[in-house]
Amino acid sequence: MAETIEIRFVVGAQYAGWRLDHFLKAQVPRLSRARIQRMIAAQAELPEQAADPAAQGSSAAAGRWRAAARVQPGQQIRLVRPAPIEPAVPRHFEVLHADEALLAIAKPAGLPMHATARYHHNTLTALLREHFGSAATPRLVHRLDRETSGIVLLARTRAAEIALKRQLAQRRMHKSYLAIVHGDPGPTGVIELPIGADGASGIRVKRAVVADGLPSCTRFVRLERRGAFSLVQAMPETGRQHQIRVHLAAVGAPVVGDKLYGPGPSCHLEYLETGWTESLAQRLLLPRHALHAASVCFTHPTQGEVVQLRCPLTADLVAFWGALPGESRDGCSALEHVLPQEAL
């Protein structure tokens, strides 16, 4: 039997009386209405316990939906579709630290953390289950975007997970990232701009600086300049989705290779349709955004001592930076002496 993917939606009060195809278009803006209508005809159904004949019309008896059916608050819509062929991902990760309470790994760029519409088995959580078994799978303490490389911290016990996440919430865990950006954000600075969903974009995951967004703060230090590019150390004080990428783009220094916040979100949509092409290479320069989780500093959840972990910059970003003209005044690249978090 062919493998399938199931997606569930619950109709909110604001969608009362909407056509089903309009409702699904609002949930998945990247899909055309024509494609949504085909999916409805082939695969969409309403669970029996939530069926509402008045909402479904003549299709209620069969438990099937029509595109023109009117949805009502509380109804659940289940879309089942054949699982797509998953893109290949790096399946190896390096263990940076391991003890009885926690695990730190170096996530490669291109490996998603969780299952998504495009990735079901090829994820970090799936690899961890394969490696440790379901009962002993370490728990994620924080997340990285799929294209971001670097340190991921995991807890091996429930108590360690609670303690580490509490440090994150109380801003007692300090993370530092390296980013190669276009332009120059300045020698040092603090970016305090609220971040929320980009309501003007049809891309659901896209964030933006918005007046009613969540308070967000990123400190940064420019480590080195080479031509039209800068190497930046970014230290997020808050943990909003895409925070560093949004903040650096907002001050005119977008991360190199960023399909959402670089040359324009059209790169993101084009990549989803075509994959990596020469046209995208000319605009983005790198097949992934140049952001790397370089270090993390925290208090060990059981031992009480301060732990600082580092993850060397990946070979692709080292090669990109090394190929740019110029060097720092002391004759060596800033990559060789990145400032530790506590020294800033």
| Distance between CA atoms of residues 23 and 10, nearest Å | 10
Residues 171, 234 share a domain? yes
Give domain status of residue 57, yes or no.
Answer: yes
Q: Are 177 and 310 in contact (CB under 8 A)?
A: no
pLDDT (0 to 100) of residue 309: 98
Residues 113, 73 share a domain? no
Give domain status of residue 77, yes or no.
Answer: yes
Residues 333, 270 share a domain? yes
Residues 314, 261 share a domain? yes
* Consecutive 10-residue averages of pLDDT for the chain (344 residues): 69 93 85 82 50 37 69 85 75 93 96 79 88 86 96 96 96 97 97 94 88 97 97 97 98 97 88 89 97 98 96 97 75 51 38
Give domain status of residue 89, yes or no.
Answer: no
Domain limit, last residue, from 49, 82, 115: 82
Give domain status of residue 87, yes or no.
Answer: no
Domain limit, last residue, from 53, 82, 111: 82
Domain limit, last residue, from 31, 51, 82: 82
The pTM is what? Answer: 0.76
| Distance between CA atoms of residues 230 and 324, nearest Å | 10
Residues 101, 50 share a domain? no
Give domain status of residue 49, yes or no.
Answer: yes
| Domain CATH code at residue 199 | 3.30.2350.10
Burial class (CB in 10 A: 0-12, 13-18, 19+), 291: buried
Instruction: Mark whether 212 is an active-site residue.
Output: no
- The one catalytic residue in 52, 99, 145, 212 is 145
Classify 23 as helix, strand or coil.
helix
Burial class (CB in 10 A: 0-12, 13-18, 19+), 104: buried
Residues 245, 217 share a domain? yes
Give domain status of residue 109, yes or no.
Answer: yes
pLDDT (0 to 100) of residue 2: 52
Residues 216, 307 share a domain? yes
Which domain does 34 fall in, by range? 4-82
Residues 132, 78 share a domain? no
Residues 105, 77 share a domain? no
When divided into structural domains, the chain yields a total of 2
Residues 181, 64 share a domain? no
| Domain CATH code at residue 56 | 3.10.290.10
| CA atoms in the 13 A half-sphere facing the CB of 214 | 12
Residues 163, 27 share a domain? no
| CA atoms in the 13 A half-sphere facing the CB of 85 | 1
